[in-house]
Amino acid sequence: MNNYERKPAQRKGSSKPAIVENHSSFKETDTLVYALGGLGEVGKNMYCIEHHDEIIIIDAGVRFPEENLLGVDYVIPDYTYLIRNQQKIKALIITHGHEDHIGGIPFLMQVLKLEKIYAPRFAKGLINRKLEERRMQNQVKIEEITNISRVETKYFKVGFFNTVHSIPDTLGLLVNTPNGRIVHTGDFKFDLTPVGTNSDYQLMAYMGQIGVDLLLSDSTNAGVKGFSISEKKVAAAILDITRRAQGRLIVASFASNVYRVRQIIEAAIACGRKISVFGRSMENVVDIARKLGHISVGEEHFLRPEQLNHTPANKVTIICTGSQGEPLAALSRIANGTHRYIKIIPGDTVVFSSSPIPGNANSVNRVVNSLTRAGANVLTNSPLNSIHTTGHASEEEQKLMLQLIKPKYFMPIHGEYKMLKQHADTGIETGVLPENVFICANGDAVVLRDGVCSLSDTRIQADDIYVDGSDTSGLSTSVIKDRRILSDNGMVAVIVSIDSRFNKILCRPSIVSRGFVYIKESQTLLKEAELLVYEALKKKMVGKTTFGELKNTIRGSLEPFLYQKTHRNPIVIPVILNQKAAMQPKATETR
């Protein structure tokens, strides 16, 4: 292991990092930099800079759950450390408006009182919409920031610089602390012909000249060679496809990719087409982008859903969600024929203006096959048609950022471990000393002391919290484990009738199985299991016992037997029915 790599400390008997919250290894005059989310993962971005009695938070995002997190809506950081140090929090600063940077704000506000959020204009619009939906808009003030804004506290002076991303109004941060300068890039790429505002190259170079002690930089595309293609090239490809489409044009993209949505709309208008937008998140983003002037298109260019069937096919462009094959998104419902307003007809052209996120390829392929089977001409991103480009810096762009900023110390952020490692190697390649590069995990604390960085042994609590419905407490973690067992091994319910007055079993137990074995072919197994439980309960009920002990007896006898016979561990649910007459005296005593 290289000396700049850090593996998370482990709790004994647990796969989770150890929790150490004392600051014994820190001096009161040190500045701490740590992440509660965003390291070793793509999403859940939340970075903190702490000095004495002040903390500034950079971003508050969510991560969308993997397929194995059954029933989970979002994954958010563990806010315990911030709750315990609420009096220190002086600012929440947002770099841009993507969900992995702002999606956690409503959950954070449930447990913390935030006086003010600093956010760029488009992010402010998205946050306001998010808070309005939850009736939380009056609980916090949101102050708009730009590249000329300044945020000052007792110990911190924060300035901003423009970066290019797939959403308007994206910012990087320069944080002046008592122990040195820290730059946080936010999400960025270098596009020499951008659709929106250009990067502040001169400002970045100036920061490199005056000296930056620690750089935190986006690692998402660290493994992608070369430069990413320009959004202008994608715009030209989309315009060409729109011109050549004979029938309706249906384009699926990320709702958050505002510049792409704008280009699709502009191409449609240039080709004399009307636009119809489907998908709640897409409708929200288009609405906010129009209000803020990022999409300058009049109402006359849009169609209501009920107008689609009365408009010639070659005069229609439909923009929708579902580019990742999400089952409930608009495009998936169009593909399987369950959409209320749109049915695929031969001659439709469907464009996936995106690339599948790792893990989504199978879902996307299913949707592509369904659309093709229905008669649509489907176009996906490939070297032959440049209909998508990333919003994150590829390897050469990451090198350019490192060369502009010229940091003394480097901490890759925003990426899975492999991405962080690749970005760290790039940092060394551009001149950062290997011992000055920190590959951290969530909760690791980098100490900045008089311009010198070191990695502390102290860790901040930084676990995952699963948002299951309205529960943000983390208590649903055990429920998730049960769902995994149910999905893999099924369930066995054991129903036992007893008379507690005489400590007697009234009849042999009945076993019901779901998702464990095919009942018709496993009658012998289930009968053996019933007999085994019956004998174990008879022995237990010779003397006085409790309902809890009976349930443990059922589990203790049945679980090893089922594993021995099937090599599977279903959830065993004991159900004990007590004779009604046995309950009567207790009811009388209660009265």
Segment 65-75, tens digit of pLDDT: 876 676 778 89
| Domain boundaries for CATH 3.60.15.10 within the chain | 31-226+390-467
Q: In this predicted structure, what is the pLDDT of residue 482?
A: 73
Q: With a cut of 50, list the residues of the chain below it in pLDDT.
A: 1-4, 6-24, 587-591
CATH classification of 231-379, choosing from 3.60.15.10, 1.10.10.200, 3.30.2320.80, 3.40.50.10710? Answer: 3.40.50.10710
Q: In this predicted structure, what is the pLDDT of residue 458?
A: 83
Q: In this predicted structure, what is the pLDDT of residue 24?
A: 44
| Domain boundaries for CATH 3.10.20.580 within the chain | 490-590
Q: In this predicted structure, what is the pLDDT of residue 587?
A: 44
CA atoms within 13 A on the CB side of 481: 6
Q: In this predicted structure, what is the pLDDT of residue 584?
A: 64
Among residues 59, 191, 200, 218, which one is catalytic?
A: 218
Q: In this predicted structure, what is the pLDDT of residue 356?
A: 77
Q: In this predicted structure, what is the pLDDT of residue 459?
A: 87
Q: In this predicted structure, what is the pLDDT of residue 474?
A: 58
Distance CA 46, CA 34 (A): 9
Largest CA distance in the chain: 88
Would you say the C-alpha torsion 108, 114, 119, 122 has a positive or negative sign? positive
30 labelled catalytic: no
> Rounded to an integer, what is the distance from CA 289 to the centroid of its chain?
23
200 labelled catalytic: no
Q: In this predicted structure, what is the pLDDT of residue 389?
A: 87
CATH classification of 490-590, choosing from 3.40.50.720, 3.10.20.580, 3.40.190.10, 3.40.50.2020? Answer: 3.10.20.580
3-class SS of residue 345: coil
Distance CA 68, CA 62 (A): 17
Among residues 51, 96, 101, 392, which one is catalytic?
A: 392
What 3 state SS string does 10-56 have?
Answer: ECCCCCCECCCCCCCCCCCCCEEEEEEECECECCCCEEEEEECCEEE
Q: Do the Cβ atoms of 27 and 454 come closer than 8 Å? A: no
Q: In this predicted structure, what is the pLDDT of residue 476?
A: 56
Assigned CATH topology for domain 31-226+390-467: Metallo-beta-lactamase; Chain A (3.60.15)
**Closest listed residue to residue 108, CA positions, set 129, 132, 139:** 139
| Domain boundaries for CATH 3.40.50.10710 within the chain | 231-379
Q: In this predicted structure, what is the pLDDT of residue 468?
A: 73
The pLDDT tens digits for 373-394 are 999 999 987 766 778 888 999 9
What is the secondary structure of 129-198 as a DSSP string?
Answer: HHHHHTT-TTS-EEEE--TT-EEE-SS-EEEEEEEB-SSSSEEEEEEEETTEEEEE--S-B--SS-SSPP
The pLDDT tens digits for 513-527 are 888 877 677 788 889
